[in-house]
């Protein structure tokens, strides 16, 4: 039996393109190539792409040198910068002087991506530990350092993504929230997690170093180094979960926002990581002690070995699944708690905000099954669920009130709900309850309105009214939705107002908006974002997912 996350999330990869090791999907992992094409069309450039306007060169004095940036059309300055350096498979270190990414001389240039299989070699570099800082003129000109700082961590299954993905221009977000916003990059895949020596979590340490860098320079841009909030989507949110589980990262930020974190995936175990590492080392054919061989490997060879590992991981280690098999490891040193239901939960204190969208799994199911699935067809509903969950979970799921399918009824809707619930929604609600139970404050939200992300453009169900697919919350948060409807514009204003409040106080309630009740152990009070009221509990009843039916991190523990 293979974990449901193996087949289900593997389908997700090919449908929504969250990660494509072979680079063969027509829909790219973060919509980047599609977005890059649109970036050359002036009418949409301002919506999807980081601002290319450099009508005025601007400088800011920082403790480590002069920052060079450009002014955007929103009256926000944009400063690309290299925040850390790292040799291959070595821990990164924070830079001591200000420099533009990749040796650039023009501050309007964008940083190269971290190496990833779907990109051309000319698009990436191992020297990729860069960020783009967005700071409103009105904040910089105050001469005070009181504004909150938001750090965006991109998704992409830890295999793809960048600080320059579609919709990630933070100019409007910075202005609307009155904050300094940094969009960061970190090492991906094998280069970030699979050092042949066995050391891991290099990418987690990269992100920690980005926060240390911001603590040094935030005041120069009007930001308060003591008011840093980390925000991430998908694997970017999973990265934040790793930061929350790392005691040495605690002092680097005050609060966290986790969007669409597939919390069914716990951290990788040490034993599982050793299995994956052994396989990876076999693919690169270099002894872990042979530094000349390791340094002589081409990036393309490393990505090829990473690709082999990706497809074999779930068979080697069922806990790995196929969505994020290369991911943060509970190594007992940097990350020493699971932050899930398999071990005693750590005492916590930071405020967190957890959100999901109402059709997280739609790209997976409808993007791969272009035919109806019924109770007596082939494959049948029972076969699809059984092949992924096995016994006893299959019978517990399909016999429950939540996922029953009538004879001759198309079961894809039930399977989509199942995937959304267990991979994202209900596992997130379980996390919120645990967080509150152990001393923290949590707020939970569910998007019922979004803006179709480029990666979802080829999945028709994602453009249907009322359907919000994985990633469709990104352009709402950033305010980069192209040609927004009145409802989308209102939601953008609401979300950004709530984020502004959360960045400052750890509470997302803002004047003139409905009360967002904080989660309790009995009721997470999931606020409908784009709707009204709270989401019904449904299958997220703690007696069902995580209890009667185990999450993968429990089942394979």
Active site residues: 234
Rg of the chain, C-alpha, whole Å: 22
Residue 311: CB atoms within 10 Å: 13
Retrieve residue 297's tokens: 């490997």
CA max distance for the chain: 69
Retrieve residue 352's tokens: 């967190």
Retrieve residue 41's tokens: 């069309």
Residue 184: CB atoms within 10 Å: 29
E strands, 72-129, are 76-82, 84-85, 93-94
Could you give the CA distance from residue 233 to residue 240 in angstroms, rounded to a whole number?
9
Question: Which residue from 36, 75, 83 is spatially nearest to 53, judged by alpha carbons?
Answer: 75
Could you give the CA distance from residue 115 to residue 28 in angstroms, rounded to a whole number?
15
Q: 123 and 117 in contact (C-beta within 8 Å)?
A: no
E strands, 350-396, are 351-357
Retrieve residue 446's tokens: 């569910």
Question: Which residue from 491, 463, 468 is spatially nearest to 478, judged by alpha carbons?
Answer: 491
Retrieve residue 97's tokens: 């002087």
Could you give the CA distance from residue 193 to residue 463 in angstroms, rounded to a whole number?
35
Could you give the CA distance from residue 387 to residue 554 in angstroms, rounded to a whole number?
19
DSSP alpha helix (H) spans, 54-170: 137-140
The counts of H helices and E strands in the chain are 19, 13
Cβ burial, residue 28 (10 Å; 0-12/13-18/19+):
buried
Could you give the CA distance from residue 149 to residue 215 in angstroms, rounded to a whole number?
10
H or E element at residue 528:
strand 527-529
Retrieve residue 541's tokens: 């009843």
Tokens 């990505």 map to which residue?
303
Retrieve residue 161's tokens: 């993504």
Q: 33 and 164 in contact (C-beta within 8 Å)?
A: no
* End-to-end C-alpha distance for the chain, whole angstroms: 15
DSSP string, 415-481: HHHHHIIIIIIHHHHHHHHHHHHTT-EEEEEEES-----GGGTT-GGGGSTT--BTTTTHHHHHT--
Retrieve residue 38's tokens: 């649109």
3-class secondary-structure state, position 19 = coil
């Amino acid at each position: 039996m293979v974990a449901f996350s193996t087949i289900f999330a593997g389908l997700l990869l090919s449908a929504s393109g969250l990660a494509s090791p072979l680079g063969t999907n027509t829909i790219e992992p973060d919509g980047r190539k599609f977005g890059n094409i649109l970036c050359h069309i002036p009418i949409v450039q301002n919506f999807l792409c980081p601002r290319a306007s450099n009508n005025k060169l601007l400088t800011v004095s920082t403790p480590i040198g002069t920052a060079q940036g450009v002014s955007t059309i929103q009256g926000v300055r944009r400063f690309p910068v290299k925040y850390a350096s790292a040799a291959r498979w070595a821990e990164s270190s924070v830079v001591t002087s200000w420099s533009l990414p990749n040796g650039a001389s023009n501050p309007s240039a964008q940083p190269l991506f971290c190496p990833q299989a779907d990109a051309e070699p000319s698009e990436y570099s191992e020297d990729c530990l860069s960020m783009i800082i967005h700071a409103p003129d009105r904040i910089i000109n105050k001469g005070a350092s009181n504004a909150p700082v938001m750090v965006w961590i991109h998704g992409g299954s830890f295999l793809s993504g960048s600080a320059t993905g579609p919709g990630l221009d933070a100019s409007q977000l910075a202005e609307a929230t009155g904050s300094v916003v940094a969009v960061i990059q970190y090492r991906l895949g094998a280069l970030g997690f699979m050092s042949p020596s066995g050391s891991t979590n290099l990418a987690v340490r990269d992100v920690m170093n980005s926060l240390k860098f911001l603590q040094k320079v935030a005041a120069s841009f009007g930001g308060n180094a003591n008011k840093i909030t980390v925000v991430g989507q998908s694997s970017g949110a999973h990265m934040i979960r790793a930061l929350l589980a790392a005691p040495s990262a605690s002092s680097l930020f005050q609060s966290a926002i986790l969007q669409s974190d597939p919390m069914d995936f716990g951290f990788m175990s040490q034993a599982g990581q050793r299995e994956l590492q052994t396989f990876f080392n076999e693919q690169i054919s270099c002894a872990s002690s042979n530094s000349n061989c390791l340094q002589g490997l081409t990036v393309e060879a490393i990505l090829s070995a990473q690709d082999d590992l990706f497809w074999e991981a779930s068979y080697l280690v069922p806990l790995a699944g196929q969505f994020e098999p290369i991911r943060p490891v509970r190594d007992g040193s940097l990350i020493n708690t699971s932050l899930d239901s398999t071990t005693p939960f750590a005492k916590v204190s930071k405020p967190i905000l957890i959100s999901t969208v109402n059709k997280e799994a739609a790209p997976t199911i409808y993007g791969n099954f272009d035919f109806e699935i019924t109770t007596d067809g082939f494959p049948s509903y029972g076969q699809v669920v059984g092949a992924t969950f096995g016994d006893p979970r299959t019978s517990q799921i399909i016999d429950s009130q939540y996922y029953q399918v009538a004879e001759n009824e198309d079961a894809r809707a039930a399977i989509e709900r199942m995937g959304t619930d267990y991979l994202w929604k209900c596992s997130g609600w379980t996390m919120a309850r645990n967080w509150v139970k152990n001393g923290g404050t949590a707020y939970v939200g569910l998007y019922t309105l979004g803006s179709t992300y480029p990666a979802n453009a080829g999945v028709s169900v994602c453009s249907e009214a009322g359907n919000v697919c994985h990633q469709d919350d990104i352009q709402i948060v950033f305010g980069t939705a192209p040609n927004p409807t009145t409802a989308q514009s209102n939601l953008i204003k609401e979300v950004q107002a709530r984020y502004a409040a959360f960045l400052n106080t750890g509470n997302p309630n803002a004047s003139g908006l409905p009360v967002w009740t904080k989660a309790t152990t009995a009721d997470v009070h999931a606020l409908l974002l784009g709707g009204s009221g709270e989401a019904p509990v449904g299958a997220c009843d703690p007696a069902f997912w995580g209890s009667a039916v185990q999450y993968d991190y429990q089942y394979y523990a």
